[in-house]
Structure formats: structure tokens, C-alpha cells
Structure 1
Amino acid sequence: PCLLVVNCLLFFIDLLLTIKIATSVSIKSLVFSTETSTSYVEMTPLKPLSLSAFTLCMRVATELSGEREVILFAYRTREYDELNVWRELDGRLSFYLAGDGVLFSVPGLGPLESHLCVTWDSSSGASAFFMNGRKSVAKIYKKGHTTRPEGKVLLGQDPDSYVGEFDAKQSFVGEISDLNMWDYVLSDTTIKDMASGKRVTTGNIFDWESTRLHIHGAVDVVKREL
């Protein structure tokens, strides 16, 4: 009887380990190791970025601190910065749609990974940041605006011209992964689930599992398990 019990326990342990391995998810992660004006990643969208609403999410960590601007996401057409997401000099988070931006006082980014989302809806102008599933105060911004298509999306640099004129002092240094973008606003519950590691529908503009990444300069791609 004792041997039977031991064999049963070993069987169930093996079964649990098999289930864990089968359900674990391996994703790529981008590591920007040094401050530079030459390293960046260009992302190819699944559809044109003619946006009247969006949700943009990513997992991000950085050791950059102090009075230093940090670009987190940049989308530029030939004439305009269409959508830029920043950590500002004072640590606040912000995003800009072809002009003046909107700033949020939320817990600062740091060396421990954070799940970060930003949402915006043109019809109401409602915008917000989510940090690890927790929503900021809503702010009204750029009601009625639509972003223009046919631009370039970059991680790591802020282009002051069309894919050019980079400033190393604004470059991203750290790690970015699990970046997804939708052309609509996700529910608060979905964003909270995503932050906690639950599987949700991936982005229809950028899907981190399938989006093509074009690496320029010293950016490393590493595999990690979620």
C-alpha cells in the first residue's frame, strides 16, 4: 500500500510539472544596455495607425533616474510626432498627440518591472495611465483628434525628423517586453487581468507574439518565461 501511494504521488507530481511546462509562455524581451543615439527597434504594425482611440501596454524596467527624459514609445509621420509616450524630467508619465501633451503623476518607473498601459478615446477625450493594473485619474485630452497613418514606430529613440536626429540623452535604457496595442480602449478589468499575468486577447495593431521587429544598433533580444 505504501509503495502504491508513493507511486501515485510521483505520478501526480509529474503531471503537474507537465501542465506547468505546457502552459508557460516564452516571450521575447528587448534589452537596451547603454545610452546611445544609434540603437533602436522599429516595429511593423498589423494595420495603419489612423487612431481615434487606443490602448498601449508594455512591461518596462529602467535604472535611469534623476532629471532625465526617457522615451518609451514614438510614432512619427514625416511631418509630425503623432504619438509619443515619455517619462518626464520630474518622473511623471505623459503622452503627446501631435502637439502639447498630457501629464500624469503616477508611481515612478524603476529597476523592478512595471506593467504600464495608457488609454485614450477621441470621442470623449478621456485618457489615463495604468500602473500594474491600477488606474490613474482620468484627464480630458485632444477630444475629436485622430492620428495620421503611414509613419514609423520606434522603441528606444525619439526621432526629431523622420527616423533621424536622435538625442542620446532622451534614449531608453532598460528592458521592454510584452508590448501590445489595440485601436480601442480595453476595460479596466482586462488591463488588471493582463497586469496580473492572465492571458487576454493580444493587440490588433501590435501583437508582441507576432509583430515584426527590426533591430538597429546595440539592442539585445532575450527569451523569458511568463
Structure 2
Amino acid sequence: MYLLCIAVFVCLVYFSSRVSIKTLVFPSETSTSYVEMVPQKPLNLRAFTLCMRVATELTGKREIIRFAYRTQSYDELNVWRELDGRLSFYLAGEPVFFRVPEIGALQTHLCVTWDSSSGAAALFMDGRKSLTKIYNKGHTVQPGGKVIIGQDPDNYIGDINLWDSVLSDRTIQDMFSGKTVPTGNVFDWETTKLNINGEVVVVNTQQPL
């Protein structure tokens, strides 16, 4: 699979009356351009909330990788759009599927939650929660892998945060509406180190609120 052709990752960081916007641009189709996110703590997870802002102009029957965390042994935590349009995530094995509205060119706030003790898994799109499914009860996401973003053309992902707990429904809804909530304690898009590989341009701009 070719890596990202053109993508923009946006981070909003509030400083007084100005906002800092961090953008990653993949200017051409290549199999060697990608970005690795460096976690603030090992991904040894028995629960998580993963949130990101996404948009894409890809249509039709095609798989899209939204987020990929891989160890040498497994794809430990991957978020996908499947060939049939469903969203899914994988925890070192078969996925759990959600049939939700298709993500298009308008930015969507997407969150995935999972708790090992109950197996409860759910998606949130623009603050709206899916039904809850029971998935991989008792599982643990293993540490020691890499998180890679930027693997599909015309695919936009930004403001990625990951917590090692399940956030409340209200907190996720507040996040979507722009209210201040605690940033991720595993990945905080404002401060997480990004390792740039290949032809990727980093653009930082500041704009007034």
C-alpha cells in the first residue's frame, strides 16, 4: 500500500488570544513518507479513549487506515474504514465493526473507546455515541510498538489524543464542541514528538482566535 499522498494534520494550541496550527503536508505519492508519533508513556493499555479529527475525499470500496499501532508480533490497535464503508478497530486479532455515517470531506470528530474489564467498545462521531458492543474482554494492548500515521492519499487526520482510560460521554461531547478538556496522557497532540520520515513538510502558523 502506498503511503499518504497529500494530508494535513492540524493541532489547535491556545495561547492567550492566538491559536497555533501545526500542519503536516505529504506533497506526493510515495511508499516512504510517513510520521511516527512518540508516546508519552508505554501503550500498555487495558482501557483507552482515542480521539482524532478526520476527513477524506476517498470514495468507493477502499480500505483506509486511520490510526496504526503495531508491535513486531501484531497490529495491536488499528482504526480502519472497511471496504464496505463500516468503521472498525482491531486489537491484535479480528476487528469489531460499526455501521455509522460515512466520513467525507467535511471534518469529523471521531473517538473510539474500549474497556478490557467489561469489553465495552463504542464509537463517537461529532459527539454522538454508537451502540455499545462487547469486544476482546480481558485483553491488554501490549507496549513496545510504533504508531504510524499518514498512509492513504487525500486523507486528513489531526488533533490526535489518546488516554489510558475511558472518558465520560460528556467529556467527549465537550471536546467535540470545543470546550477545554484534559489532553491525552499517552498522546497529547500539542506536545507529542513527531518523527518525520520521507517527503513530509511541517508548517507552523499562528492565527488570532
| TM-score normalized by the length of structure 2 | 0.86
Q: Aligned-residue CA RMSD in angstroms?
A: 1.9
Structure 2: where are the runs of 5+ without partners?
1-13
1:192 aligns with 2:173: yes
d(CA) in 1 for partners of 2:196, 2:70: 18
Report how far residue 64 of structure 1 moved: 0.8
Match of 1:210 among 184, 191, 198: 191
Whether 1:179 aligns to 2:154 is no
The residue that corresponds to 1:105 in the other structure is 99
Deviation string, structure 1 residues 158-201 (Cα, Å, up to 9, x no partner): xxxxxxxxxxxxx3532221110000000000101111111210
SS at match of 1:25: strand
How do 1:1-226 and structure 2 match up within 5 A?
A: 22-32=16-26, 34-157=28-151, 171=152, 173-223=154-204
Q: Which has the higher strand share?
A: 2
Higher helix proportion (structure 1 or 2) = 1
TM-fit CA distance, 1:21: 8.2
Larger Rg computed on CA atoms: 1
Sequence identity, in percent?
68
Q: TM-score, normalised by structure 1?
A: 0.80
Separation in 2, partners of 1:109, 1:197: 20
Q: 1:111 to 1:42 in 2, by over 3 A?
A: same
Structure 1 alignment gaps of length 5 or more: 1-19, 158-170
What is the aligned partner in structure 1 of residue 3 from structure 2?
none
Cα separation, partners in 2 of 1:181 and 1:70, compared to 1, 3 Å: same
1:55 touches 1:183 (CA, 8 Å); kept in 2?
A: yes
Farther-moved stretch of structure 1 (198-207 vs 171-180): 171-180
CA distance in 2, matches of 1:197, 1:107: 22
